[in-house]
Amino acid sequence: MDAWRPCQGGNALVGPFGPAASADEVRRTLGPFLAERINAVARDRDRDARPLPLEVLGDIARLGWMSRLPLAGKSEAWIEWGWLLHECGFLGEDLGLPALLALCGTMGDMLSQLGRDDLRERYLRPLQEGRAFIAFAWSEGADPFSFRTTARPDGSDFVLDGSKKPITGAMLATALVVFARHAETKEIVAVLVERDDPGVEVSPVSMMGLRSAGFGHVRLQGFTA
């Protein structure tokens, strides 16, 4: 059985970028890796609730894919990245991997849109080299915008207090984008937090599925950014 592929006829978005070729490239470059490094231990990893290690992203980078993260202004890169996710989900037995790669794409796009060289060097380049994973710390286990996590201004800094869970990839994250409510304006702000910063604690969260995606509970107590 082959992977499902949409008809290219009349599709201006898909047609010019050759989705079949993109899918074939994923199979050629990642197929053996998925079979040997992912599928061979997928059941044991799920049974033991072990998150995928960060080294997996390093392996994917060495196979030439992390450098192709979809960045700002490159819509065609999202189509190619979508085929990467599709084929990883089709060929792979561990759906935690495409979930994490999807977040890598989102973070790469977000960081590149900021247009800041310091963030590019500190966060985006390691992400493209498979040396980093940046988690999207939004959820607090409640309504989407019912944030209890606060960001209190303190001079030119923010002091963060709160709790985020369940956060996909928290257990392998090197950094997190934490969404919090500004204590004065009540607006939503996003703050980049390093995993090993003082005042940041990450612990595992037990899940019924996708356990290799490394869900975690992020606690922030007097963290200053």
- From the list 106, 113, 160, 104, the residue with the least C-alpha distance to 131 is 104
Last residue of a domain, one of 76, 107, 128: 128
The answer to whether residues 170 and 104 belong to one domain is no
In a domain, 4, yes or no: no
Q: What is the pTM of this model?
A: 0.86
With contact defined as beta carbons under 8 Å apart, do 94 and 43 qualify? no
In a domain, 7, yes or no: no
Condensed to tens digits (0 to 9), the pLDDT of residues 191-207 reads 999 999 999 999 999 99
In a domain, 188, yes or no: yes
Q: Which amino acid is at 139?
A: S
- CATH number for the domain that contains residue 78: 1.10.540
The answer to whether residues 70 and 27 belong to one domain is yes
The answer to whether residues 22 and 114 belong to one domain is yes
In a domain, 155, yes or no: yes
The answer to whether residues 75 and 143 belong to one domain is no
Instruction: Give DSSP secondary structure letters for the chain.
Output: -PPP----TT-TTTGGG-HHHHHHHHHHHHHHHIIIIIGGGHHHHHHHTPPPPTHHHHHHHHTT-GGG---TT-HHHHHHHHHHHHHHHHH-S-THHHHHHHHHHHHHHHHHHHT-HHHIIIIIHHHHTTS--EEEE---SS-TT----EEEEETTEEEEEEEEEEETTTTT-SEEEEEEEETTT--EEEEEEETTSTTEEEEE---SS-GGG--EEEEEEEEE-
Phi, psi of 165, deg, nearest 5? -170, 155
The answer to whether residues 22 and 123 belong to one domain is yes
In this predicted structure, what is the pLDDT of residue 225?
77
Look up the domain containing 21 and give its range: 15-128
In a domain, 5, yes or no: no
The half-sphere exposure of 149 on its side-chain side, counting CA atoms within 13 A, is 30
In this predicted structure, what is the pLDDT of residue 23?
83
Last residue of a domain, one of 128, 151, 167: 128
**How many structural domains compose the chain?**
2
- From the list 112, 86, 98, the residue with the least C-alpha distance to 38 is 98
Longest dimension (CA), the chain: 60
Counting as low any pLDDT under 70, the low residues of the chain are: 1-20, 73
- What is the token pair recorded at 107? 């973070």
Last residue of a domain, one of 77, 105, 128: 128
In a domain, 104, yes or no: yes
Q: How far apart are CA 77 and CA 67, in angstroms?
A: 11
In this predicted structure, what is the pLDDT of residue 3?
43
